[in-house]
Structure 1
Amino acid sequence: MICLRKSLTILVLVIGGLVNTACTKIGLFAANVPAHFNDAKIVRDIAYGQSALQKLDIYIPGHIDGDEKAPVLVFFYGGRWSGGSKAQYKFIADVFTKEGYIVVLPDYRQYPDVKFPAFAQDAARALAWVYQNIQGYHGDVENLYLAGHSAGAHLAALIATNQDYLAKHSLSLDIINGFVGLSGPYAFVPDAPDLEDMFGPPERYPLMRASNFVDGTQPPMLLIHGLDDEIVALKNAEKLRDAIRREGGDVRLVTYDGIDHVETVGALMWFWSYKAPVKDDMLVFFRKVRPE
């Protein structure tokens, strides 16, 4: 009991630091201390490119065996495009492998080593690798979903809207059955020196906004946002939703009262699940858009 209380205290401190630094250098590593891990099989550090950060981990439900196939969820973490790692988000895999999903957590190159669009290109490259190889890990490529939080939601949204990213790998948006974005900055204007350097010059800003690429060919989307989010404005999700609706697409925006930027992903941790039904909303969405 003492150890658990201590772990939870550490988590609260880390989450507080994460909020105060706008998801920069501090990750959710403490979230894994008290996590309820299962018997998932893990294949770590599979290279999808040449960089040390172009690697991914695959989590396979323990009951999967033989020729059995399972749906696949690729999740991109946030961190202001300059921090975070796949190792800090094992709790995502814990949640969804228990529900029968194969979970893929990719790393990607980050600022200042690279600038936009390099991290979005990495996201597309990772997804292409998954589509082309996940069958060897019991994955059902006809049942593939994309999700992300914060900066990770931004990257995932870009490759789910701008067809050019996947086209470079001879793939189309059709490979994505559905996208879930948690607290994503889909249509923002850089307003800090590091962001201006990361995404600039200003004439390139339109290329970083997922809402600018909606043309009616996008996969179904579930956009989740906390109404107490002081880091990413709700208007980002609203603009993406409105763009999709104008083109006749399938989109739903879900907002949670009293939930901030970190708590949308934090609610996927077992001891914070009471804060918001994020897991349930995601699973209902996946079932809704699952191919027949």
Structure 2
Amino acid sequence: MARTHRQWLGTLISALVLLALGGCSPVKLLNALTPEASFTRTAGIAYGEDPRQKLDVYAPRHPLEDAPVVVFFYGGSWNSGEREDYTFVGEALASQGIVAVIADYRLYPQVRYPLFLEDGARAVAWTRAHIRQYSGNPQRLYLMGHSSGGYNAAMLALDPQWLAAVGMAPKDLSGWIGLAGPYDFLPIENPDVRPVFFWPDSPPQSQPINHVSRGAPPALLIAASKDELVNPTRNTGGLASKLRAAGVPVQDLYYSRPNHITLVATLSRPLRSLAPVLKQVVGFIKHTPGQ
């Protein structure tokens, strides 16, 4: 008898866990299972002089003219992460007719807050200036991030100083998407994150929730309802409430099946049935059409 879909999914997740325990990265398996027919990747584009200041562009294989563009920032507690690990994100977006830009940025201990935000702003400015070469529309520019990458996206969208430094403003963004982002996390409990934000003297201005204003871009905030690493009620729920009170269009969604890590993994083809994250992202972009 054929396995049910739930049995198959359980087997796949178990395999991912076993591979992780055996020293094989689960994201490498996800990327190995990611088809390449839907995108064309241009890799290793420099947006700055540092070796970490590089990005990859995933353009739809058969792009529509003036496709929307998403700049994606990955998580890793500002201590780790490689753009190559997120091919499955690039494929997910490109398969839906969206040009994806996945950017590396400098990490601790090379830098601390706020220098990785300066990197993010420079990556966004590069995208706005050059994305037409990849059939992207710079007037339909969105930011997206998972975990600490969601924080980066939030700060660029909410605190005007970072984009202002590269000749842009939050109004140049059509919207932003946060997946399990930390937006209100003082005092810092995570020992890996403390030195990044100068604990115990972490500046209040480092918190996205303190930069909400009426002119902020529309937002889609998604979280795992049982996230044990980033409290979804305080972070996603708290930021959504403050944005709503300021009159900013925002939708917050919570899913019970993914956890903090697998929330972003639901963008991959093998795990999309865990939660309709990709569907919600595409719908947000479709119904938030641009400037």
1:101-250 equivalences in 2 (<5 Å) = 101-189=98-186, 190-234=188-232, 235-250=234-249
Q: Amino acid of the residue matched to residue 280 of structure 1?
A: K
User: 1:11 maps to which residue?
Assistant: 16
Alpha-carbon deviations, 1:117-160, whole Å to 9, x = none? 11111111111111111122221011111111001001111101
Count of matched residue pairs? 279
Deviation at 1:96, TM superposition (A): 1.2
User: 1:22 maps to which residue?
Assistant: none
Q: Amino acid of the residue matched to residue 175 of structure 1?
A: D
User: 1:260 maps to which residue?
Assistant: 259
**Does the C-alpha gap of structure 1 residues 248 and 162 become closer, same or farther in structure 2, counting only changes over 3 Å?**
same
User: 2:6 maps to which residue?
Assistant: none
Counterparts of 1:15 and 1:285 in 2: how far apart (Å)?
Answer: 33
User: 1:272 maps to which residue?
Assistant: 271
Q: Amino acid of the residue matched to residue 198 of structure 1?
A: V
**Does the C-alpha gap of structure 1 residues 27 and 154 become closer, same or farther in structure 2, counting only changes over 3 Å?**
farther
Deviation at 1:80, TM superposition (A): 0.9
Deviation at 1:291, TM superposition (A): 3.0
Q: Secondary structure at the match of 2:192?
A: helix
Q: Amino acid of the residue matched to residue 194 of structure 1?
A: D
User: 2:57 maps to which residue?
Assistant: 58
Seq. identity, %: 34
**Among 82, 91, 94, the residue aligned to 2:91:** 94
- TM-score, length basis structure 2: 0.89
Q: Amino acid of the residue matched to residue 207 of structure 2?
A: R
User: 2:7 maps to which residue?
Assistant: none
**Does the C-alpha gap of structure 1 residues 16 and 268 become closer, same or farther in structure 2, counting only changes over 3 Å?**
farther
Alpha-carbon deviations, 1:164-204, whole Å to 9, x = none? 00001111111111111000011112124432211014444
Q: Secondary structure at the match of 1:28?
A: helix
**Does the C-alpha gap of structure 1 residues 13 and 231 become closer, same or farther in structure 2, counting only changes over 3 Å?**
farther
Deviation at 1:262, TM superposition (A): 1.2
Counterparts of 1:64 and 1:89 in 2: how far apart (Å)?
Answer: 20
User: Contact 2:38 / 2:94 at 8 angstroms: preserved in 1?
Assistant: no
User: Contact 1:10 / 1:30 at 8 angstroms: preserved in 2?
Assistant: no
Q: Amino acid of the residue matched to residue 225 of structure 1?
A: A
